[in-house]
């Protein structure tokens, strides 16, 4: 009985979600000012945007290795300027459970895979069809080992290259054909072998034409072409993606970007800076990067995210 119509689903950095009918965003002439798609508070911004049918699914993967789902029509509809509803009030999350990644899908077709990575460098591939019967209380996506947490999820076609990056500036690229498909209850296998005090900060499925943006705690960053990351066997210690030092600090985030993208850097003092990706230097792996943001001595970059323009 739910009308099958196109919806725009927006999700903010602070975890607010809403949907609007696609026709709310009327066509405009080229060169116009555009429409404000969501009224966010000063330190919030739209981080994800999906154009999906009201019958499509949103899968919410959490740090506990669980997945929850909602149909798009179950997401509260808001006005064009509304902030939306907090995701934590939409799902039956456990204490300290947080959403790590959200995926939008039409169906649970076989032949597509979900690749997941944890803080301790564990990686796992599961056939998409294994998630076709989720419950409102959530189901297990992978078994998390004590002291670990899920940090990243992506959808693949079975033949992509996976790139994992760590806090101490190491990275590894390998073909996902090195990963056999496992059931939901499996805990996964080693993707990158970490030093004792290192941890995984990012996992990406490599896309053609993208560069890898790496940002460090002290406000330094750079872009590197993905061709510099030669494919290796899964489970190795990897190669350098950025030199970390007292000057630039550990890696906060590594993410794929296109020249047309913009990113937000957020600091521990609540400062936010918006940067055009094309303004960030493209340099080699064996470098420390250039300064992206000026900060006070005790201030740190705590988050990096792409900004979605509606």
The confidence score (pLDDT) of residue 38 equals 47
Residue 263 or residue 36, greater confidence: 263
- Round to whole Å and give the CA distance between 263 and 302: 13
Q: Name residue, tokens 């080992």.
A: 145
> Mean of the pLDDT values across residues 96-100?
90
The answer to whether residue 20 is domain-embedded is yes
The answer to whether residue 286 is domain-embedded is no
Would you state the structure tokens that stand for residue 295, as one six-digit string? 């900060």
The secondary structure of residue 56, as a DSSP letter, is: S
Number of H helices, E strands in the chain: 0, 23
Q: What percent of the chain has pLDDT over 90?
A: 49
Q: Name residue, tokens 């996506």.
A: 141
The answer to whether residue 47 is domain-embedded is yes
- From first CA to last CA, the distance across the chain in angstroms is 29
- Round to whole Å and give the CA distance between 13 and 87: 11
Give, in degrees to the nearest 5, the angle at Cα 231 between 123 and 108. 45
For the stretch 262-272, pLDDT in tens is 998 888 888 88
Per-residue exposure over 85-115, b if at least 16 CB sit within 10 Å of its own CB, e if not: bebeebbebeeebebbbbbbbeebeeeebbb
The answer to whether residue 70 is domain-embedded is yes
The answer to whether residue 296 is domain-embedded is no
The confidence score (pLDDT) of residue 22 equals 76
The answer to whether residue 250 is domain-embedded is no
The answer to whether residue 192 is domain-embedded is no
Chain center to CA of 38: 20
Would you state the structure tokens that stand for residue 167, as one six-digit string? 């806090």
Q: pTM of the predicted model, to two decimals?
A: 0.85
Signed CA dihedral, 155, 254, 37, 78: sign only: positive
- Round to whole Å and give the CA distance between 92 and 95: 10
Q: How confident is the model at residue 305 (pLDDT cuts 50, 70, 90)?
A: confident
**Edge-to-edge strands, sheet with 85-86:** 46-53, 6-12, 16-21, 85-86
For the stretch 133-169, pLDDT in tens is 877 778 999 999 999 999 999 999 889 999 999 999 9
pLDDT surpassing 90 at residue 10: no
- Round to whole Å and give the CA distance between 93 and 66: 9
Q: Which residues pair with 222 in a beta bridge?
A: 214
- Round to whole Å and give the CA distance between 167 and 164: 11
The confidence score (pLDDT) of residue 200 equals 97
Counted domains in the chain: 1
Domain that holds residue 77: 1-93
The answer to whether residue 98 is domain-embedded is no
């Amino acid at each position: 009985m739910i009308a099958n119509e196109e919806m725009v689903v927006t999700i903010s950095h602070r975890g607010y979600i809403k949907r609007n009918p696609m026709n709310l965003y009327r066509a405009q002439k080229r060169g116009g000012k555009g429409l404000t798609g969501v009224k966010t508070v000063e330190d919030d911004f739209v981080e994800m945007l999906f154009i999906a049918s009201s019958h499509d699914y949103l899968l919410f993967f959490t740090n506990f290795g669980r997945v929850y789902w909602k149909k798009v029509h179950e997401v509260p509809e808001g006005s064009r300027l509304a902030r939306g509803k907090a995701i934590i009030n939409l799902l039956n999350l456990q204490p300290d459970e947080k959403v790590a990644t959200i995926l939008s899908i039409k169906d649970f077709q076989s032949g597509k895979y979900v690749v997941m990575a944890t803080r301790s460098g564990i990686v796992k591939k599961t056939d998409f069809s294994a998630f076709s019967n989720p419950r409102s209380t959530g189901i297990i996506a992978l078994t998390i080992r004590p002291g670990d947490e899920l940090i990243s999820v992506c959808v693949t076609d079975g033949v992509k290259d996976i790139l994992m990056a760590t806090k101490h500036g190491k990275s590894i690229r390998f073909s996902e054909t090195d990963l056999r498909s496992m059931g939901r209850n499996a805990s996964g296998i080693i993707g990158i072998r970490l030093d004792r005090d290192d941890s995984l900060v990012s996992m990406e499925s490599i896309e053609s034409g993208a560069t890898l943006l790496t940002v460090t705690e002290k406000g330094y960053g750079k872009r590197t072409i993905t061709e510099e990351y030669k494919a290796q066997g899964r489970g190795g210690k990897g190669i350098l993606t950025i030199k970390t030092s007292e000057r630039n600090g550990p890696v906060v985030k590594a993410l794929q970007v296109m020249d047309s993208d913009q990113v937000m850097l957020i600091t521990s003092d609540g400062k936010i800076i918006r940067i055009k990706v094309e303004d960030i230097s493209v340099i080699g792996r064996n470098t420390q990067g250039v300064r992206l943001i000026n900060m006070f001595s005790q201030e740190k970059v705590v988050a990096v995210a792409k900004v979605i323009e509606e």
